[in-house]
Structure 1
Amino acid sequence: MSVLLEFAIFPTDKDESISPYVSKVIQMIRESGASYQLTAMGTIIETETLPEALALVQQSYDVLEPDCDRVYSSLKFDIRKGKSKCLTQKIKSVESIIGEVHK
C-alpha cells in the first residue's frame, strides 16, 4: 500500500519567517527514513500504512510543541492499495507524456 500525505505544519505565534520551525520538522522526517519531498507550500511524505503517516504528523507536532503555543496544520491523503513508490511514479507518469518537469 502507498500512503501519500501532503501536509503543512507551522506555528502561528512566531515571527513572519517560520523556516527555523519547518526545518526542525523536516529534519525529523529525514531522520525517520520516510520518503519525502519538500515543496514551497508543504511537504509530501510516503509511507506504507496510514498509522505510519499519522505518527509522523504527531511527531511533527511534538517537535514544535515545546516552543510554540499555537500550531496550524493542513493534511491531504492519497491512499492506494497494491501500489508503492507513488511519490516518484506519479511524476514519472506525467513526464512520460509531456517530458521532464522542471524542478
Structure 2
Amino acid sequence: MGYVELPYDTQGGLPIGAWIGPSVEARLTLERAGRCGVKYASGGFKTRPLWKKLGEDGRLRELFEGSFSFELGYENWMKKKGYEDAFQPEFAFWAVRGN
C-alpha cells in the first residue's frame, strides 16, 4: 500500500526528508481459534519506510518504523489452569536494511 498510519508518534510526525515509500499492513488471526483453549486471537502488523540514503560506499541503507500488536483470549478452563484472562503483546520497532 502507499502509506500506513501507525498507532504511535515517536517524533511528532515524520522527520524532514522522510522517504514516503510503499508500506505494509497485515491483520493477524489464529485460523482455528476455539480449539486448544484459545477463545479468540487477532492483531496487526504495520511497517513504513522512514529514511533512505546512499552510503559513501554507494550502498543503499534504509530505516523503517513499525508496530506489532496481538491479543489472545483463553477459554474458561484454561483460566482455571492459571492462564491470565488475555495475552496482549504490543510494541513499536525500528528496522534497518543495508545492502
TM-score tier, shorter chain, comes to under 0.3
Which has the larger Rg? Answer: 2
Greater RCO structure (CA 8 Å; 6+ sep) = 1
More helix per residue = 1
**TM-score normalised according to structure 1 size:** 0.22
**TM-score normalised according to structure 2 size:** 0.22
More strand per residue = 2
